[in-house]
Chain A
């Protein structure tokens, strides 16, 4: 079956703009998590959605938001972009988001803020 699909793969924006990233999980997976990856900080958890509800949230400002649709597809939005938001944004899906479940990651969206 198809893996986790993230679109777009690359994105270039300027400061102050907003951006929406999309993630289609593996069919049948109901949990979608988002991570930000930078060379300096590594992978940092943004939030997790399950059955259209945000179930868990990391320590990111309110400019970072997300949502999940009834088909489990998820989007994340970043408003008022800052230079420091340049990063690889990874989405991961799992069946139910339980503690020891295997996470399946997409290839990510590389966001550059100029």
Chain B
């Protein structure tokens, strides 16, 4: 059973389009992190959200943590080819390691 479900699994869009990817769980997390991973590289942290209902913006990327701290979303405005990659969410529990979702593979075509 996957603790963190990410959707969609794959997404292929044209440059300039908007998109939203989701990270859902039945468990409560103390915080949630979003990473982007490019081929041949390790994941790179984009943002950490800690408070239920929190919204964080990073240029064209908007991250939201659900009120109940069980889900999160990532919205990208006017996607660019440089946004292409695997987007991973990871939840932190009260103790122990980060739990990762399987990721959303995003392809932005010029």
Q: Which residue of B lies closest to A43 (CB)?
A: B100
Q: How far is the CA of A105 from the CA of B35 in the complex (A)?
A: 10
Contact (Cβ within 8 A) B97 A58: yes
Contact (Cβ within 8 A) A43 B88: yes
Q: Number of residues in A with C-beta < 8 Å to the partner?
A: 22
Q: Which residue of B lies closest to A3 (CB)?
A: B42
Within 8 A of A (CB), among B51-106: 88, 90, 92, 94-103
Contact (Cβ within 8 A) B48 A107: no
Contact (Cβ within 8 A) B97 A56: yes
If A48-B97, A99-B31, A100-B50 touch, does A108 touch B102 (CB 8 Å cutoff)?
no
Q: How far is the CA of A99 from the CA of B97 in the complex (A)?
A: 8
Q: How far is the CA of A45 from the CA of B99 in the complex (A)?
A: 8
